[in-house]
Structure 1
Amino acid sequence: MQLPLLPSHAVASVFLVLLSTATQTYAGNYFHGVTAANSAPNSGAYRCRTQGEWNDLAHTAKSNGFSSIRVLGFDCNALEFASSAAAGAGINVLAGIFFSGSVAGSSGQIDNEVQAFRAAVGKYGVGRYDGLTIGNEATDNPGAIASKVSSVKGYLRSVGINTPVSTVHTWVAVRDNPQAFCSGDFVGANAHAFFDQNVVGSQAGSFVYNTVVPSLRKACPNKPIMVTESGWPSRGASMGRAAASSGEQYAAMKSLNCAAKNDKSVVIYAFEADDQTWKGNDNERSFGLFGKVKFEGGINNAC
């Protein structure tokens, strides 16, 4: 059955209202969702997360107050596994198509994965998906990325799927390339206070909501904003004033959660569900939250 087609501004407005409401579903947690890698946690090599591990992640996310999981790519059958897990837990998915290199060189892969997304919508329902992103910090020309986002959006609309479509890049890239990265149904930006090097963990919320968000609003007026990654590492080298430790990680997540409470117009995803020890350095390996950062009875009660 086809869905009624809505103009782009209406899709964006409905998207923002629905996600802002969903963010408040679980008392005390003002993050909308959590980003999850397709690899199993604490694995020295990249190992695909199983259906059972996705199920555990989805239930852990819900019990900690999150209402969505962000999937970074469709490898490892992640779209199907995450969608099934989310449906079982009663939460949603922000689906992300990942590609490396150029849009032109990855066009066939992207198109195939758009078809996989269409099939998933048919199976799990359009309401299961908070959005679809094409690329995560992709290195191709911004204009080429924007053009692909537009073509994917046009195709999905033509088959009756009104899921909001955009891309994701660093907040600095979005700020500096508004003609390209503000053209989707929403603005998707990764924003980690840690890498700014001038803030401590307790200032992470202020950095995102008082520095990053105003910059995005200026670059992309009247566009819904989704901060698709924001977190803090628990190990590794310091970045200027920013220290990587479990205490600073907790302070950062508490600060982000409380800042999100005060600005519900912005959708924010915590980064990331669990440690990914296959990554290249201790900072990148240690952004994991579950089993390390206490949300229920901790962060969720802090503000």
Structure 2
Amino acid sequence: MFVKGLVLVTFFTQLYENFLGANNFAGIVASNSVGGSSSYKCRTQAQWNQLAKDSKAAGFKTIRIEGFECNALEMVSTAAAANNLQVLAGIYASKGTIDASLPQINNDVQTFRAAYKKFGAKRYVGLTIGNEVNDSVGKIMAKVYDVRGYLRSVGVTTPVSTAHIWVNIRDSPALCGADFVAANAHAFFDGNVKSAQAGDFIFNTVVPSLKKACPGKRIMISESGWPSRGNPNRAAKTSLNDEKAALASLNCASKRDKNVMVFAFEYDDQTWKSNDNERSFGIFGKNINLNDIFKPC
């Protein structure tokens, strides 16, 4: 009777997922600025709470942040804990280079240490030092190793790395040297990929290249999405339908290798950014039916 019941539960679970679709993304990226604002405006705790609720309801398991400004680590961790989500935390190099940003980075390391103690090891899937930092690979990785060594010395076991553009990691394998690989990869910027091929681009081009450059390392596609507005990039067109097609393609492709964590970019449109492409990657808060993205694959 137990086996029959288990088979029946599995059958109805699969039927439910086939009808409504399933979210195969590991997580979603969220800016510390509230969506729709013409200037950078820090999210409130209530707004982080809503973001976490929306993410949970949509089937995302992890929220990625790229910096700690606006007290974001404390607030996203609070919201994540209330919704049984995890966090991929990121320390941003606010002054552009590692050396110029050292005081801020070191302060943020202490902020992370305090959050780890408060919210627990299981809350954090990783910590990245820098996001696409325009600095030498040597300086980036030296700071990554410095932070990791310090955190280990005080009992913090969270995996540590840096996040960078996937082609930079492919071409500079030294960026693979830490605990995991965090690669930002957007098919749109390749220029030769149509929106409906975004998932194939990630899993047929990006992931194999990263596995070759970084053998044995856990791979995270730390952001991937598609803009709904702005100038096209050759074969890559911009429209709401193109964004939906790209996200659906990414979602389906993410089933191919569950060991690769793919983070959808991003929670909402960031209209303070410099151009319409960069402003329009948002998923929530505009006319996107999530079932169009998480449709059966």
**CA contact under 8 A between 1:202 and 1:252: conserved in structure 2?**
yes
1:205 counterpart = 2:216? no
Q: Secondary structure at the match of 2:237?
A: coil
2:76 aligned to 78, 82, 87, which one?
A: 82
1:65 counterpart = 2:59? yes
Query: In the aligned structure 2, how far is the partner of 1:91 from the partner of 1:207?
Result: 28
Instruction: Specify the alignment match of 1:131 in structure 2.
Output: 126
2:113 aligned to 113, 118, 127, which one?
A: 118
Equivalences for 1:185-204 in 2 at 5 Å?
185-204=179-198
1:32 counterpart = 2:48? no
1:284 counterpart = 2:258? no
Distance 1:27 1:157, change over 3 A: farther
Deviation at 1:298, TM superposition (A): 3.1
Instruction: Specify the alignment match of 2:40 in structure 1.
Output: 46
CA RMSD in angstroms comes to 1.4
Deviation at 1:102, TM superposition (A): 2.1
Listed as ranges, the gaps of 5+ residues in structure 1 are 1-23
Residue 153 of structure 1 aligns with an amino acid whose one-letter code is: R
Query: In the aligned structure 2, how far is the partner of 1:119 from the partner of 1:136?
Result: 22
- Percent identity for Structure 1 against Structure 2: 57
1:153 aligned to 144, 148, 153, which one?
A: 148
Deviations 1:244-281 (A, max 9, x none): 10001000000000000111121010000000000001
Deviations 1:153-180 (A, max 9, x none): 111111111100000000011011112x
Give the number of the structure whose alpha-carbon radius of gyration is greater: 2
Deviations 1:98-144 (A, max 9, x none): 01322122112111100000000111111000100000000111110
Query: In the aligned structure 2, how far is the partner of 1:183 from the partner of 1:260?
Result: 24
Deviation at 1:27, TM superposition (A): 7.3
Instruction: Specify the alignment match of 2:9 in structure 1.
Output: none
**CA contact under 8 A between 2:248 and 2:295: conserved in structure 1?**
no
Residue 37 of structure 1 aligns with an amino acid whose one-letter code is: S
Figure out how many residues of one structure are paired with residues of the other and give that number.
277
TM-score, normalised via structure 1 length? 0.89
Instruction: Specify the alignment match of 1:141 in structure 2.
Output: 136
Listed as ranges, the gaps of 5+ residues in structure 2 are 1-16
Residue 40 of structure 1 aligns with an amino acid whose one-letter code is: V
Residue 76 of structure 2 aligns with an amino acid whose one-letter code is: A
Deviations 1:200-220 (A, max 9, x none): 111000000100001101110
Distance 1:183 1:302, change over 3 A: same
Q: Secondary structure at the match of 1:261?
A: coil
Instruction: Specify the alignment match of 1:275 in structure 2.
Output: 269
Q: Secondary structure at the match of 2:130?
A: strand
Query: In the aligned structure 2, how far is the partner of 1:32 from the partner of 1:150?
Result: 26
Q: Secondary structure at the match of 1:301?
A: coil
**CA contact under 8 A between 2:229 and 2:280: conserved in structure 1?**
yes
Residue 43 of structure 2 aligns with an amino acid whose one-letter code is: R
Instruction: Specify the alignment match of 1:21 in structure 2.
Output: none
Instruction: Specify the alignment match of 1:5 in structure 2.
Output: none
Residue 277 of structure 1 aligns with an amino acid whose one-letter code is: T
2:163 aligned to 137, 148, 168, which one?
A: 168
TM-score, normalised via structure 2 length? 0.91
Q: Secondary structure at the match of 2:221?
A: strand
Q: Secondary structure at the match of 1:169?
A: strand
Query: In the aligned structure 1, how far is the partner of 2:295 from the partner of 2:99?
Result: 48
Q: Secondary structure at the match of 1:135?
A: strand
Q: Secondary structure at the match of 1:213?
A: helix
